[in-house]
């Protein structure tokens, strides 16, 4: 619970987007991706991760019907 | 000798920077290191009290910067360790009395004959913070296991990187053993993973810290205290030793049994 809340605020802090902006970015990304592939929009995960030498937006777009 | 400057900082206030600075400094001095602590919290001086040196202050850091005295005149020698010194903050001035450049110059000079210079940073991300981190070779971020404190710690990691201070390390302070045992607290591994930062140590919540602060005797001096042990371990890690992180929870019979049969 605490972990999820922390992750949520950190995504916004790190990427400097509001949750509305984040949401519309997600929608636009889905729009683009669905032009080419079949993504399962209910299972999308987005996270901003700090790594060794960079901060990266890591997104997971699971494909429909795949496992 | 050219020593290492370590800034002790945090995003959120009141999480234990001053306590940690005093204890890390004391524990390093126990290993015969020559250490100078700098109280960079100008206007809210505290480190002197935690160290029990408040009645010896004549000059302070602003006096040094303004050339009212020599550096050595402002440095107070610790009661217990000959190699431990405190450069106190000014109490009646504000954060703008020292510039980051002056701070950097002062530290460069000071570390020539110290093994470690440890800077206690004020809370916040304004000028006081900028002063405290200028001249730092390493940074230690203090947080407590709370969402708000960890969030602010993350901010600080970003700001430090922007200032060219990479790979800060974190101390998670005020860990409540009972809450860890019940699983009511954010896991240490989770916090480390999310912050993507090296863990320098964990310090348990300990009433003894309040007592020791009131007495002006850092808890690192107390060899029966777990928090004291935690700070002594942290000092050894700072000196480069590879020590395992201390276990806080008493292992119950059940958890030992679970481990034994591979359930956890
Ligand atoms: N592990 C601990 N167990 C119990 N009390 C603690 C612990 N660590 C710190 N404290 C207490 O918490 C209070 C705040 O600690 P401290 O002054 O070190 O924080 P700080 O980060 O320097 O605060 P500020 O941001 O105001 O400078 C003090 O009263 C201190 O005694
Ligand atoms: Mg303080």
Residue B181's pLDDT band (boundaries 50, 70, 90)? confident
Q: HEC string of B91-104?
A: CCCCHHHCCHHHHH
pLDDT for the residue numbered A66:
65
Rounded-to-integer distance, Cα B219 and Cα B95, Å: 29
For the segment B152-165, the average pLDDT, to the nearest whole number, is: 93
pLDDT for the residue numbered B247:
84
Share of chain B above pLDDT 90, in %: 82
Task: Please name the residue whose Cα sits nearest to atom 26 of ligand 1.
Answer: B14
pLDDT for the residue numbered B129:
94
Rounded-to-integer distance, Cα B27 and Cα B82, Å: 13
CB B75 within 8 A of CB B85: yes
**Between A47 and B2, whose confidence is greater?**
B2
**pLDDT tens-place string over residues B7-41:** 999 999 999 999 999 999 999 999 999 999 999 99
**pLDDT tens-place string over residues B186-225:** 889 989 999 999 999 999 999 999 999 999 999 999 999 9
Residue B251's pLDDT band (boundaries 50, 70, 90)? low
Which residue of A lies nearest to B188 if distances are taken between CA atoms? A3
**pLDDT tens-place string over residues B45-61:** 999 999 999 999 999 99
Task: Please name the residue whose Cα sits nearest to atom 14 of ligand 1.
Answer: B14
- Alpha carbon of A3: minimum distance to chain B alpha carbons (Å): 6
pLDDT for the residue numbered B258:
67
Whether residues B194 and A10 touch (CB distance < 8 A) is answered with yes
Whether residues B158 and A2 touch (CB distance < 8 A) is answered with no
Q: Which fold has domain B4-261?
A: Rossmann fold (3.40.50)
Rounded-to-integer distance, Cα B191 and Cα B150, Å: 8
Q: Domain coordinates of chain B in residue numbers?
A: 4-261
């Amino acid at each position: 619970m605490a972990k999820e809340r922390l992750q949520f605020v950190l995504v916004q802090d790190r990427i400097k987007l509001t949750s509305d902006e984040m949401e519309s970015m997600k929608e636009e990304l889905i729009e683009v991706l669905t032009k080419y592939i079949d993504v399962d929009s209910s299972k999308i995960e987005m996270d901003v991760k700090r790594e060794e030498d960079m901060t990266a937006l890591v997104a997971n777009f699971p494909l429909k019907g795949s496992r | 000798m050219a020593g290492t400057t370590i800034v002790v900082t945090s995003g959120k206030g009141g999480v234990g920077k001053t306590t940690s600075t005093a204890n890390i400094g004391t524990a390093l001095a126990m290993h015969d290191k020559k250490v100078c602590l700098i109280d960079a919290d100008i206007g809210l001086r505290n480190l002197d009290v935690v160290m029990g040196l408040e009645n010896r202050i004549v000059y302070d850091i602003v006096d040094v910067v303004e050339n009212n005295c020599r550096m050595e005149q402002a440095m107070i020698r610790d009661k217990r360790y000959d190699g431990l010194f405190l450069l106190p903050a000014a109490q009646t001035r504000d954060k703008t009395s020292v510039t980051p450049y002056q701070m950097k110059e002062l530290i460069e000079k000071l570390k020539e004959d110290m093994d470690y210079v440890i800077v206690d940073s004020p809370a916040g991300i304004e000028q006081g913070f900028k002063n405290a981190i200028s001249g730092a070779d390493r940074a230690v971020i203090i947080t407590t296991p709370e969402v708000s404190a960890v969030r602010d710690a993350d901010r600080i990691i970003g700001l430090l990187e922007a200032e060219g201070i990479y790979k800060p390390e974190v101390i998670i302070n005020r860990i409540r053993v009972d809450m860890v045992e019940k699983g009511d607290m954010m896991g240490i591994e989770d916090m480390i993973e999310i912050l993507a930062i090296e863990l320098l140590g964990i310090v348990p919540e300990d009433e003894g810290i309040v007592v020791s602060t009131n007495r002006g005797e850092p808890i690192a001096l107390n060899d029966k205290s777990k928090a004291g042990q935690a700070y002594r371990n942290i000092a050894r890690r700072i000196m480069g030793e590879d020590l395992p992180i201390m276990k806080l929870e008493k292992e119950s019979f059940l958890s030992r049994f679970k481990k034994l049969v591979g359930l956890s």
